[in-house]
């Protein structure tokens, strides 16, 4: 029985790793107002222009909307860039933009709307659920939180010199245990299942 469980865990781990790798060139733009006959590639090009990063149609592989956990918000927009170099260039410019105290609104995509938009790496759904749970947890138990473009989430507690990596729900539960927190308060079951 133990061998079967180990094999199942290995298969699940390989699937998740493949899922993370398939998203390595993806960005997600959240809170973009939905319009009929929208042209998402043009939005990505406009975003590049706004951040002084040259992006052409040839730099964009695919774009589409994905379902959102929050039905009251616009569906997030996913764009897969052809190369990771171009994605890194865009994300670096974005980081510098925010470091200078600037915000980002839909106008930067060429949309006449002042809604704030958010651009991130494209986490697999189960990792996005864990990240959402960690953001909630951080409100009660302050710590540094981030993730790498391969979807590896890291947490740095105040009394630690090294980061703790959160790769699955078990890691999240262990972290909650360290902090004396109830993980059920911060995770929703449908946010941590692998669904996309």
pLDDT in tens, 100-139: 888 899 988 888 889 999 898 888 777 888 888 998 999 9
**pLDDT > 70? residue 189:** no
Q: d(Cα 28, Cα 77) in Å, to the nearest integer?
A: 6
**pLDDT > 80? residue 191:** no
Q: d(Cα 112, Cα 118) in Å, to the nearest integer?
A: 16
**pLDDT > 70? residue 5:** no
Q: Which fold has domain 22-121?
A: Alpha-Beta Plaits (3.30.70)
Architecture label for domain 125-192: 2-Layer Sandwich (3.30)
- Portions of the chain given CATH number 3.30.250: 125-192
**pLDDT > 90? residue 50:** yes
% of the chain residues with pLDDT over 70: 82
Average pLDDT of the segment spanning 155-169: 88
Average pLDDT of the segment spanning 42-66: 94
pTM reported for the whole predicted model: 0.69
The pLDDT of residue 161 is 87
**pLDDT > 80? residue 51:** yes
- Range with the lowest mean pLDDT among 12-16, 19-23, 36-40? 12-16
- Portions of the chain given CATH number 3.30.70.1820: 22-121
Q: Which single residue is written with the structure tokens 């709307």?
A: 113
The pLDDT of residue 2 is 67
């Amino acid at each position: 029985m133990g061998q079967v469980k180990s094999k199942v865990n290995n298969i699940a781990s390989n699937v998740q790793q493949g899922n993370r790798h398939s998203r390595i060139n993806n960005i997600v733009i959240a809170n973009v107002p939905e319009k009929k006959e929208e042209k998402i590639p043009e939005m990505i090009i406009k975003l590049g222009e706004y951040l002084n990063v040259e992006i052409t149609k040839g730099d964009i592989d695919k774009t589409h909307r994905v379902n959102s956990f929050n039905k009251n918000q616009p569906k997030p927009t996913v764009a897969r860039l052809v190369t990771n170099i171009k994605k890194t260039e865009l994300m670096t410019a974005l980081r510098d933009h925010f470091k200078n105290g600037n915000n980002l609104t839909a106008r930067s995509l060429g949309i006449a709307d002042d809604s704030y938009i958010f651009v991130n790496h494209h986490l697999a759904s189960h990792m996005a659920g864990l990240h959402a749970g960690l953001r909630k947890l951080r409100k009660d138990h302050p710590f540094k939180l981030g993730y790498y473009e391969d979807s590896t989430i890291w947490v740095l507690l105040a009394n630690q010199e090294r980061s703790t990596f959160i790769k699955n729900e078990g890691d999240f539960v262990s972290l909650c245990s360290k902090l004396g927190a109830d993980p059920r308060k911060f995770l929703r079951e449908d946010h941590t299942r692998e669904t996309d």
